[in-house]
Chains A and B, each alone.
Chain A
């Protein structure tokens, strides 16, 4: 393998040239690295790492937007405000942040897996099916949230008019405190399924066909093959899908802003939307405290999926 020629740890073959020339080369390389790294590392620090410290700092102070004003240290007061008072319905939002992945992930594992398995059996026109399944992922989620909002509109939406034709009573969908969250989630499932399918499909292709041939010789049926070969071998890929999607869903924002703005009666509110709402409302320190707690929640999810992906392998 070519990768063995050179290892990233910095040990490399010496270039066949005179020592003085080599040190000139090394100096030239260091200068080049410096010129490139100043903007790259600068950007990483200023917009990637420094804000993490800043958000923790903000959450422990009473931050004010007015320049020149002081930002007194208040300890855990912002966190206490979130956890104890009714303001901003923190617990409601935190709980509902979890609903989004809990609704979607099981659907995704089953449906995307079924798509992926079916795709592998298709020989002719596979690229076309793949493109059709993947198309939704390439659409703009903002635009499709608007479309789904119109489609599910309780008075003019086409879904209700179709239900009417079938004799089913009209549903409130986005106007109902119980139906709004699944309706908001529907656009996202539609949008995200293709991505999961493609990743799982790529994972399926990497499984050695000989396992299946051997199983078939032993008389295993399709379901047994799936359970004993596909599922265990696909486990690492599946855990990547679950991690990526959980991290994404715990931050779900676009369809909520477009379709419900957190309502009705906070029934679609999650932490990202709560952060947005309190931020635009000027409550920066409160929003910062919520951000830190959201971060911890995401870390817990990643740790759990990671552990599950590794278990008994």
Chain B
């Protein structure tokens, strides 16, 4: 934890204290001037907004596609289900790093470079999420759903009234992980985004760290600004988060 605590404190240190000798472990004077300068130097608000749009869009899409996809794989009978399921399973095992080059070429062919679509659309279906919801629903007695069907409830209603409440814990864990993972995504934006007004936060602060290597007070403040939402999410959902991580090893 020490690096986080130090960094938060350092982000409020006036610039001279950064190079003072002997070094200050505890800040002597506290100031918000680093943040003020930061927001004046680079369009931080724009970066934060871009990141928020992308992350919220992806998380929402993943939750919806995982819910419906997992439900259809678990409790709906349809021809070709086995084969389709193997396709989803196969795509789970393909490392993203291998897909970067062809996906970039596709984005270029679609004319999507420097757009929100390029940042969002490739991540809207999560094989992991589908698998998670499917496994959750497989442990539910099917009688509930059969009974609802006999009573005339359509599949959409069943998803909303029976499946959704059942898989809510899985969906919320999935959403937390999607949020944190995408908030921190650097590789993909670094490839498809070249113009500053579409920069996401990780890309923006990385650029800043490279350009202002001699102003550690600024880069630290930027890093803390990017860190706050993730740590806040962790603090709120801490228990759920740790349970989710523990699950990934037992599967």
Report which A residues bind B (CB closer than 8 A): 2-3, 5-6, 8, 10, 12-13, 15-17, 25-26, 28-30, 32-34, 36-37, 39-41, 43-52, 54-55, 58, 63, 65, 67, 127, 130-132, 134-144, 146-151, 153, 156, 158, 161-162, 164-165, 190, 195, 198-203, 206, 237, 240-241, 244, 247, 250-251, 253-254, 257-258, 261, 272, 275-276, 279-280, 284, 287-288, 291-292, 294-295, 298
Is A253 within 8 A of B231, CB to CB?
no
B130 at the interface (CB under 8 A from A): yes
Chain B residue nearest to A128 (CB atoms) is B238
Please name 10 further chain A to chain B contacts, defined as beta carbons within 8 Å, in addition to the given A258-B206, A284-B104, A298-B98, sorted by A numbering. Answer: A10-B82, A29-B78, A37-B72, A50-B102, A139-B231, A141-B186, A146-B219, A202-B246, A254-B186, A257-B206
Is the C-beta of B63 less than 8 angstroms from some C-beta in chain A? no
Q: What are the 9 A-B residue pairs with the smallest beta carbon separation, nearest first?
A: A199-B249, A43-B125, A48-B91, A202-B246, A138-B234, A54-B102, A33-B78, A51-B102, A32-B155
Complex interface: chain B residues within 8 A of A140 (CB): 180, 183-184, 202, 223, 226-227, 230
The answer to whether residues A33 and B65 also contact, given A8-B138, A138-B234, A144-B227 and a CB cut-off of 8 A, is no
Closest residue of chain B to A278, judged by CB? B101
Nearest-neighbor residue (CB-CB) of A65 within chain B: B108
Interface residues of B in 102-126 (CB under 8 A from A): 102-106, 108-109, 121-125
Interface flag for B250 (CB, 8 Å): yes
Could you count the A-B residue pairs with CB atoms below 8 Å apart for me: how many are there?
291
Residues from 233 to 251 in B contacting A, C-beta threshold 8 Å: 233-234, 238-239, 241-242, 245-251
B248 close to A199 (CB less than 8 A):
yes
- Which B residues lie at the A interface, using CB under 8 A? 1, 3-4, 6-7, 10, 18-19, 21-23, 65, 68-69, 71-72, 74, 76-79, 81-82, 84, 87-88, 90-91, 94-106, 108-109, 121-125, 127, 130, 138-143, 146, 149-150, 154-156, 180, 183-184, 186-187, 190-191, 202, 205-206, 209-210, 213, 216, 219-220, 222-224, 226-227, 230-231, 233-234, 238-239, 241-242, 245-251
| Residues in A neighbouring B224, C-beta threshold 8 A | 143
Select B187's contact among A40, A127, A241, A254, beta carbons within 8 Å. A254
Which of chain B's residues have a CB closer than 8 A to the CB of A52?
94, 98-99, 102
A-B contact pairs, 23 of them (CB 8 A): A15-B149, A29-B77, A32-B76, A36-B68, A49-B90, A55-B102, A131-B238, A138-B230, A141-B184, A142-B184, A142-B186, A144-B3, A144-B7, A146-B223, A149-B209, A149-B219, A198-B249, A202-B246, A244-B248, A258-B209, A276-B191, A279-B101, A294-B95
Q: Which residue of A lies closest to B214 (CB)?
A: A156
What's the dominant secondary structure at chain B's contact region?
Answer: helix
